[in-house]
Amino acid sequence: MLAVHLLSFYFSKLQEDQIKKVDRFLYAMRLSDEQLQDISGRFRAEMVKGLSAESNETATVKMLPTHVLSTPDGSEKGEFLALDLGGSRFKVLQVKVSEDGKRKVEMKSHTYPIPDAVINGRGTDLFSHVAESLKDFMEQNHINSRKSPLGFTFSFPCRQSKLDEGVLLSWSKNYKARGVQGMDVVESLRQAINRTGGMDVEVLALVNDTVGTMMTCGYDDQRCMVGVIVGTGTNACYMEELRHIDLVEGDEGRMCINTEWGAFGDDGVLNDFITEFDREIDAASSNPGNQLFEKMVSGLYMGELVRIILLKMTKKGLLFKGQVSDALRTKGKFQTNHVVLIEKNKDGLRNTKEILVDLDLNPSEEDCIAVQHVCTIVSFRSANLCAAALAAILTRIRQNRKLKSLRTTVGMDGTVYRTHPQYPKRLHKVVRRLVPDCHVRFVLSESGSGKGAAMVTAVAQRLVIQRQQISETLAAFKLSLEQLQEVRDKMRIEMERGLRKDSHSTASVKMLPSYVYSMPDGTETGKYLALDLGGTNFRVLVVKIRTGLRKSVRMYNKIYAIPLEIMQGTGEELFDHIVQCISDFLDYMGMKNTRLPLGFTFSFPCRQTGIDKGSLVCWTKGFKATDCEGNDVVDMLREAIKRRNEFDLDIVAIVNDTVGTMMTCAYEDPQCEIGLIAGTGSNLCYMEDMQNIEMVEEDEGQMCVNTEWGGFGENDCIEDIRTKFDREVDEGSLNIGKQRFEKMMSGMYLGEIVRQILINLTRRGLLFRGHITEPLKTRGIFETKFLSQIESDRLALLQVRSILQQLGLDSTCDDSIIVKQVCGTVSRRAAQLCGAGMAAVVEKIRENRGLDHLDITVGVDGTLYKLHPHFSRILKETVRLLAPKCDVTFVLSEDGSGKGAALITAVAQRRYAEM
């Protein structure tokens, strides 16, 4: 028993001594976590260089755009061919992706050898060999009944300007075929297929093997955003934000970047980590000075690196009693598969002895232990370096997406990763140590990069079909110049009809006289009470106007909510609530006993017979209070004040919010003769010649006309540009068939139009993986403010996704791009329609005045105009396009229609005083 313990102690001591001996000799290859973090930081800096247009040319890590814009989402289907070229053998595959939603993939494949003479011969011979192998595969499997889409995995550095084009930058992995470098390899393949003949094939995608790995794993795990190969060569790819890729146009979405990390260190950035053994490997290689990182990591060099170390140790008398065999001196005799066998858990030492004996060496037990430890250090360093670079990629993805922690999957492939017994475990452990804020799942690619090429092709085909279907859906919202001109002309016709007695009753644009005859002239002064009712909030104001050299307007106000039950209750309840708010405000201001002139901004269509008389034509904006339509709202307000019997008010004027906006801006700019509201609702007013207003007896001077253009189209005159989504929104509204123009362009409805489109696209499987959530089914949940947020130029897609997640929509990057496209299309049409209507108005004013050119100012208010990032620009562009003889200036109303109501009251009092 004692003998056994002594033997065990001796063997442990022997092993410890041998390990220490090797550790001392290879100390430079053993990397601490601090050193790995340093390397990771250097790699991140190289990534930035490669992504920048300014530094890409000199960057060693090329960060090549692949033009792969999406990973699989599970909806891919069809039959695809794939070619996989990247080593001493060449594979042809047929990949069938199921159509039954079960995410099933069936594959047939055949491997063809590539003779050394072809690898080192002419490029045309290489591609002819590939084409002939493809033809043989197709004939064997009877694949020629229809055109076959094909993906080409080409595992060498290529610069791609699109998915089906790639210029070879340099050969690697001992390939030296002449006349290929600098050429488009897809075109070379197509020419070879044509020369060979007998094949109906369409090459749709060129794919790096790393990208293929990511796409293969991504089909089964949609979190997979990274692909890594550790085999004969090594490389990585990942999904980068397009806005960071200077080498391609566009900033929406993501694109897969082929890092070509094998060249990391070629510029000297790793010199302090490169050992004498690495330098010897490099000097003896076919490409000295290039692919230095790959030479420290990959399987092509791992066995040779071990051989060089063993040779040097032997020459120093540290192994094999200093006896060197010819085999140990021979390059390539010690291979990476020997490292794999030596590091096996159970049979490692036995395998070590057999391999060393095959190299004509006579190893002792301690020699075998030392050689095994050399292999461990070399392969562990490879895993460490790979982990450091991968940690850099994961950190970049996490930072790109502004996440505290990242949950993602890395697709892995390559013979070293697949066959080495310790490599995966070491790599995983180090990565998790270096990036504790990244929760990483590693998935082995079961089907290789050939399946990945087919998946890239399938995704490309899906995206083409998807884009086509989405474009067809949104086409109805894209208005041509002719359509916009027609809207302008029809608006003009309806305005004329609204102004005439004989057609006013049937006109869809009511052209209501406001009895506002003139603009402020600067002499207005005094203190006024103003009310502003136009939405779910009601505002009460005191407005103090000062005239003279120091002209000013000061306002004091409070905002009160109008509950839904009041909005849709009885008229008496509504006006009693309004008077209650007025009473509270007068108490707040200490003015209960002060009798002030009052202007009432009432932002609903009213037929006025005087400045203080207005009968409600119809409710809009969700109001449905009964016993109001057809009644004089000023009288209803007076009756409610009497019922309260607390105070008395002098109601001088009833004002539409559009008129109030015009008057507010006209106080500062005398050229302001138009008021526009582009917010929850939409409306416009302007100064019309009295002689054209047949509804009013007078002929002299001008009067402001409230167009109430929201009703444009109620006589079906714009049915040709209304979409099925507009009709769905109309049918779900409180006033079906009414306010058709407003429902196509105002804030109350744009979000609902978008929601209807999103439901349609989702039902058709084009969005959100075909899953319609309960929130998406909820009317009104997609508010118009979301359009403004989503279309903001400063907002990254990650934030768009966050907005969608608030609505219960778990969107992919592709989904976010589509939603942004939908929002942009809907809001652009709204702005263009508003511009077409405005063009009709300014052209009418110009012609009224017999002018060749009109300079005029428009006062504007409304959340859509104020907050949407593009609405105002598109509106102005449309007006310039449709009314080229009019120079229209838009001025934003900062003080709203409450100030306008006070000014109208002041102007009306001045007019009464003059009469």
Catalytic residue positions?
539, 603, 657
For CA atoms 279, 283, 284, 288, the dihedral sign is: positive
Q: Within the chain, what is the greatest distance between any pair of CA atoms?
A: 130
The Cα–Cα gap between 109 and 89 comes to: 13
Please check whether residue 647 is in contact with residue 842, taking contact to mean a CB–CB distance below 8 angstroms: no
For CA atoms 280, 284, 285, 288, the dihedral sign is: positive
The Cα–Cα gap between 893 and 879 comes to: 19
The Cα–Cα gap between 909 and 900 comes to: 14
Residue 673 dihedral angles phi and psi, to the nearest 5°: -130, 15
Strand pairing category for 854-861 and 672-678? parallel
For CA atoms 51, 39, 452, 165, the dihedral sign is: positive
Beta-carbon contacts of residue 385 (< 8 Å; ≥ 6 apart) = 31, 36, 39, 293, 296, 297
Radius of gyration of the chain (CA): 38
Q: Which residues of 678-693 are buried (b: 16+ CB within 10 A; e: fewer)?
A: bbbbbbbbbbbbbebb
Nearest CA to 240 out of 226, 257, 223 is that of 257
For CA atoms 423, 46, 432, 399, the dihedral sign is: negative
Listing DSSP states for 457-513 in one string gives: HHHHHHHHHHHHHHHHHHGGG---HHHHHHHHHHHHHHHHHHHSHHHHTT-SS--EE
Please check whether residue 190 is in contact with residue 210, taking contact to mean a CB–CB distance below 8 angstroms: no
Q: What is the phi-psi region of residue 630: left when phi exceeds 0, alpha when psi lies from -120 to 50, beta otherwise?
A: left
User: How many other CB atoms are there within 10 angstroms of residue 355's CB atom?
Assistant: 21
Q: Which residues of 163-185 are buried (b: 16+ CB within 10 A; e: fewer)?
A: bbbbbbbebbbebebeebeeebb
Residue 254 dihedral angles phi and psi, to the nearest 5°: -135, 160
Beta-carbon contacts of residue 743 (< 8 Å; ≥ 6 apart) = 726, 729, 730, 733, 749
Nearest CA to 810 out of 801, 823, 819, 818 is that of 801
Residue 96 dihedral angles phi and psi, to the nearest 5°: -110, 120
Three-state secondary structure call for residue 61: coil
Please check whether residue 815 is in contact with residue 804, taking contact to mean a CB–CB distance below 8 angstroms: yes
Please check whether residue 354 is in contact with residue 201, taking contact to mean a CB–CB distance below 8 angstroms: no
Beta-carbon contacts of residue 358 (< 8 Å; ≥ 6 apart) = 327
Helix spans in 197-298 (H): 209-220, 276-283, 292-297
Q: What is the phi-psi region of residue 246: left when phi exceeds 0, alpha when psi lies from -120 to 50, beta otherwise?
A: alpha
| Amino acid identity at 767 | L
Please check whether residue 745 is in contact with residue 833, taking contact to mean a CB–CB distance below 8 angstroms: yes
User: How many other CB atoms are there within 10 angstroms of residue 279's CB atom?
Assistant: 14
> What does the angle CA 145 – CA 147 – CA 153 come to, to the nearest 5 degrees?
120
Angle between helices 448-474 and 209-220 (to 10 degrees): 70
| Amino acid identity at 309 | I
